[in-house]
Amino acid sequence: MTLPGVPVPRREDATFSRDLRRMFTRIAGQYSLVDHLTTFGLDLLWRPETLWLLDRRGMPPPRRILDLGCGPGDLTFELCRHFPQASVLGLDFTPAMVDRARRRAGPSPPPSFGLGDAQTLPFRDCTFDLVTSAFLIRNLPRLREGLGEMRRVLRPGGSVLALEVGEPPSAWFSPLFHAYFDRVVPKIGRLFGTEAPYRYLSTSLRSLPPREGVLRMLYELGFVEGSAHLLTGGIVTAFLARVPG
């Protein structure tokens, strides 16, 4: 199924990135609302919970934060509230998402927002103390390259935090999760006229390596102290790691 004029992104296509941008353009105005509905509001808890994980690690308060794939700014605004002394920048490769984030009322001082691709970041090495993302990494065409860019722009001692949908480890819960995520979520999207994008979102997690594979990749890229924290029975994972220094 496709939306008029909006191909459903397929990872094997050369046009994957372009089609992904067009898809997110199509759902930018309702992205947060549908997230809240399909997760029963749990997404409102996952973002602050991941930031508490950073606090428990004893990380010094970051001065410069980059939120990648910021979408309409849900995590970006949460970062501003949690780290009020930091300079926070939300970056997304979809102009409609950036426009949506800029129009939303946020904390004071507000974050900045800009356009950029997570796999070719327009920043110098060692620019940020913290790089975050929420539900981004499974959409990267080249995951290792994207994680490598996060590593490049982090200062020594800086941290990366990536929140992502995951495979529940429970043998009985996993089939229930997939029945809901694969079948019910697209039907909720249909109520907003956007079943096809949510069908893509429900299947995109299968392109993500297992948690152990993501952690191995982080270590291979030079991160240390990598960990994967399971939230809500493992349907969401918070990946944390640090740059030595």
Burial class (CB in 10 A: 0-12, 13-18, 19+), 175: exposed
51-88 confidence digits (pLDDT tens): 999 999 888 899 999 999 999 999 999 999 999 999 99
Task: Give 4's pLDDT tier (boundaries 50, 70, 90).
Answer: very low
79-99 confidence digits (pLDDT tens): 999 999 999 999 999 999 999
Query: For 17-22, what is the mean pLDDT?
Result: 88
Mean confidence (pLDDT) of the chain: 89
The pair of structure tokens assigned to 225 is 């102290």
Q: How far apart are CA 165 and CA 189, in angstroms?
A: 18
Tell which residue, 121, 131, 154, 148, has the closest CA to residue 221. 148
What angle do helix axes 143-153 and 211-220 make, rounded to 10 degrees?
Answer: 50
What pLDDT sits at residue 59? 83
What angle do helix axes 16-27 and 31-38 make, rounded to 10 degrees?
Answer: 80
Tell me: pLDDT of 3 over 90: no
Report which residue type is found at 143.
L
139-193 confidence digits (pLDDT tens): 999 999 999 999 999 999 999 999 999 888 888 888 888 888 888 888 887 787 7
Q: Is CATH 3.40.50.300 what the domain over 16-242 is classified as, yes or no?
A: no
Phi, psi angles (nearest 5°) of residue 226: -70, 145
| pTM for the predicted model, two decimal places | 0.92
Rounded to 5°, angle at Cα 95 from 89 and 99: 70
Ranking 31-35, 106-110, 211-215 by mean pLDDT, the lowest is 106-110
The pair of structure tokens assigned to 47 is 């973002």
What pLDDT sits at residue 37? 86
Q: How far apart are CA 53 and CA 77, in angstroms?
A: 17
Query: For 34-42, what is the mean pLDDT?
Result: 86
Report which residue type is found at 147.
L
For the chain, what are the domain ranges? 16-242
- Which distant-in-sequence residues (6+ apart) come within 8 Å of 188 by Cβ? 34, 37, 38, 198
- Which distant-in-sequence residues (6+ apart) come within 8 Å of 118 by Cβ? 68, 69, 91, 93, 133, 136, 140, 146, 149, 150
Which stretches within 7-83 are classed as H helix? 16-27, 31-38, 43-56, 74-82
Tell me: pLDDT of 5 over 60: no
Neighbours of 17 (CB within 10 A): 16
What pLDDT sits at residue 133? 97
Neighbours of 33 (CB within 10 A): 11
Percent of the chain with pLDDT over 70: 96
Tell me: pLDDT of 227 over 60: yes
